[in-house]
Amino acid sequence: MKKSILKTLFIFLFINFSNAQTTELVPQFLACEQQKNTTETCFLNEIHNHIKKNFKVPENQSFSGEIITLFEVDTVGKFKVLYIEAPEQKLKDEMSRVFALLPQVKPAKHNANTTYYKQSVKTVLPFTNAQNLIEKQTLLKIVNPYKITETKPQKVLPFTHQNYALFDKNINEIGIETHTSVKPYTANEVSYFFNLDTYNKSLFKNKTSWWGRKFWNENMVEIHDEDFSLILNPIADVRLGKDTQSDLNYTYQNTRGINVVGTIGKQVSFSATIFESQGRFADYYNQYAESIKPSGGNPAMIPGIGIAKEFDSQAYDFMSADANISYTPSKFFNFQMGYGRNFIGDGYRSLLMSDGASPYPYFKINTTFWKLKYTNIYTSLKDVNDYATLEKTYGSKYIASHYLSLNLTKRLNIGLFESVVWANTNNRGFDANFIVPIIFYRSVEFNSASKTGNALMGATAKYKFTNKIYAYGQFILDEFSINDMTKTNQSWKNKNGYQLGFKYFDAFSVKNLTLQAEYNQIRPYVYSHSNPLTNYGHNNQSIGHNWGANFRELIGIARYTYNRWFAEGKLIFGERGLDKNDLNYGGNIYLDYDENRPYDTSVAVAQGAKITQLNAELQIGYIINPSANLKLFTHLMYRNLSSDYSLATLNQTPTTTWFSVGLRSDLFNWYFDY
């Protein structure tokens, strides 16, 4: 039986790799067709001859270095320059002009279907004039596509679903050797496929005054030197709204802060954001924030932000900060140390590591080579409940997470994930034994002695059907128990969850329209532990899915952009199981799963006080300043809950209609769909 399975698996992998290598056909120039030469060499020679014939060096100027051009040929045979690296902007402009003159060709094919083709070419300088360029100086070389690996400071791009949607299509096309699950991205991971600076400049208004340029187009402060750069912008999040079912006259938020981004030399970048706020929200959100409040007397924990103090009797005062230092010693390694959030996945939600909790200290190592990317994330987290608070000090715990991503074929990516959680007991602190960066090494130990810590394992997959459609998924397994998984009695120990989703770019031939559908399901008691301190959470919020456990949900999202305008619609339908009658039904990850558990078998998703939930959101906005990511927006949310159990007893608001308008610096995801 084992031999049969291995043989089948070998045949499957052999066919996949064989198809990827033997059924490719590169784009074809007319000259190559006439010569009956369909090789890539002929295709690139035609590009070489075209550059020699058309490239013009600016008169009376000399340059040294290289021009590296990354381009694609689309499914109808048109050329598009994706990225140019050159010593001077004039050379970039000239190379762009030369590529714009290329004729339309026959597109590349994969398994008889037209597909996108990408390649990089390198022109070596110096040259003195156009004649020398044509006759002597041009040396055109093929370089590995998507592997332009000169060491640069890898600035971290703030992660929001809306901002990342701008380049999601570009970095997910077939054949690109990117690894898209680990977020936030560095600028280098994106810049070869989507030039953010060029995109922002395309949105610039024709303003000549200093105030006009700074308000509509540019960063407030921008300094560039040979070995140093600094960008500084004030940030704001000012909102005014109304919860139509609330007794409060209005909702509001008033946020002020500053954002700093910079580089030092060729290997170091840094960023920091600090803001302070006052505000009050819709009733359901206020109730949730107060339900996860910390011990010690503060009234609430603002989800995704942090501890809130009372302000003006019916509002909150809260602040937050994130920071990051990125060090890139070589093309293989990137080290990051910061205070912020991380996300692993290709969907709207993540079951493995989400960004819905408050910021926390972390150290991250990204190792990229061949078709692999290996990420290690070490974090320090807080438990703010009474049981974890000692002498007015909150309890500490630590997580070591490992994620291995492999581009198995040009279309298929798979990943393996592991997180182990341990508590700061006996002043143990950050145990150096957990620095060992070998995936699943500690999971085996923890599962053999689960009282010492909490181990979670997972897997991801993504398959690109076309350059416009891809599917993705996740699977999470908490405290692996194969005996309980194979039984049909639905044991409470069968703690797992999964995600299935897809994205469709330029949907129905509408440019910049992206559609997304996603299903998530997590069984009861996932993320929780026999020692509540070692659950998979931080500041009373889940590090995994924002809803915790014991639920299922279906999500539909549509996003559209046109110049500076943007729109987003979101629909979420879910079933959740909340605790009732002082029993633990597995939804609250901060409870000991060995206490007050109603039963051990026949455990089902959404057990307990079952709630059916509908969230509908619509946001329409306008980008005020693309460089600073400052946006004017209107937001409408409708939320409805129904249950056979008393919603008042569960402290749940049945219906909410919440409308708001605001001005926001869009630098992180702030979720309101609880």
Please give the average pLDDT of every successive group of 10 residues along the chain, which has 674 residues.
Answer: 43 40 73 85 87 78 76 88 80 89 89 79 61 35 38 78 95 88 92 83 91 95 88 97 95 97 93 96 97 94 96 93 94 94 98 97 95 95 91 89 94 95 72 67 53 86 95 91 73 95 96 97 96 94 97 98 97 97 96 94 96 98 96 98 93 96 97 96
Fold for domain 198-665?
A: Porin (2.40.160)
Given a contact cutoff of 8 angstroms between Cβ atoms, the answer to whether 407 and 368 are in contact is no
CA 497 to chain centre: 20
* CB 363 within 8 Å of CB 395: no
Q: For residues 186 and 154, is the Cβ–Cβ distance under 8 A?
A: yes
DSSP state of 148: -
Question: Other C-beta atoms within 10 Å of 283: how many?
Answer: 17
How high is the pLDDT of residue 69? 86
Q: What is the pTM of this model?
A: 0.82
Residue pair 492/479 in contact (Cβ under 8 Å)? The answer is no
State the pLDDT at residue 433.
65
- CB contact at 8 A, 398 and 536: no
The helix/strand/coil state of 113 is strand
Model pLDDT, residue 21: 42
Residue with tokens 């994330």: 377
Containing H/E element for 16? helix 2-22
pLDDT value, residue 6: 42
CA atoms within 13 Å, Cβ hemisphere of 84: 19
188/627 Cα distance (integer angstroms):
17
Whole-number Cα distances in Å, 551 to 488, 521, 546, 606, 630: 20, 6, 11, 5, 35
Report CA-CA distances (Å) from 282 to 183, 240, 290, 649, 653: 30, 11, 12, 19, 10
- For the chain, the distance separating the N- and C-terminal CA atoms, rounded to the nearest angstrom, is 47
Q: Is 267 helix (H, G, I), strand (E, B) or coil?
A: coil
Left, alpha or beta for 586 (phi > 0: left; psi -120 to 50: alpha)? left
Half-sphere exposure (CA, 13 Å, Cβ side) for 433? 11
Q: How many CB atoms lie within 10 A of CB 152?
A: 18
